[in-house]
Structure 1
Amino acid sequence: MADTHQGESIGSVDIRLQLGLRIRRLREDRGWSQDVFAQMTQLGRSYPHKIESGIVDIQLTTLVKIAKAFKITPSQLLDSVGSESH
């Protein structure tokens, strides 16, 4: 059996991982450490790691904060997340 949280599908884990990787790439493209990213988004210090690792589901308000920090729209942040790349 897959190692997922109770009641969640493999697809939701994949989407969290895809979004986490997208956020990590955007953060690294800007040369930001996770600590700087946490300050820019007003998130807790350990939260960026949890997002980038796909551990947490991001709330809409958090998604908007992240997009604003990157100076992009939430839809740009979600671009290609959840699409099949196989």
Structure 2
Amino acid sequence: MDIRQRLATNLRRLRLEKGWSQEEFADQAGIHRTYVSDIERGARNPTITVVERLARPLGMSPSELLA
């Protein structure tokens, strides 16, 4: 599994564990919902800055999100 797919899988699983819709999560991360959707589908290659913004509302570090 490449790193984009690992991020996609982890992000979707963790978001669902919190009970958040993509829109709720996107609002928390300060990112547009369609961008979150693209990341979860592995269609985007986000910058490390975006990975940090995704990790923050989940209460984890970027490295944990990518593990």
Larger RCO: 1 or 2 (CA < 8 Å, sep 6+) = 2
1:12-66 alpha-carbon deviations (Å, 9 max, x no partner): xx32122101100000000000000110111012111100000000101101111
Larger radius of gyration: 1
Q: How many residues align?
A: 67
- Return the TM-score normalized by structure 2: 0.91
Equivalences for 1:6-25 in 2 at 5 Å?
A: 14-25=2-13
Match status 1:41 vs 2:26:
no
List structure 1 segments (4+ residues) > 3 angstroms apart after TM superposition.
Answer: none
- Output the aligned Cα RMSD: 1.2
The CA deviation at 1:73 is 1.0
- Return the TM-score normalized by structure 1: 0.73
Counterpart for residue 38 of structure 2: 50
Gaps of 5+ in 1: 1-10, 80-86
1:67 alignment partner, SS class: helix
Counterpart for residue 61 of structure 2: 73
Matches of 1:18 and 1:76, distance apart in 2: 11
Gaps of 5+ in 2: none
Structure with the higher fraction of residues in helix conformation: 2
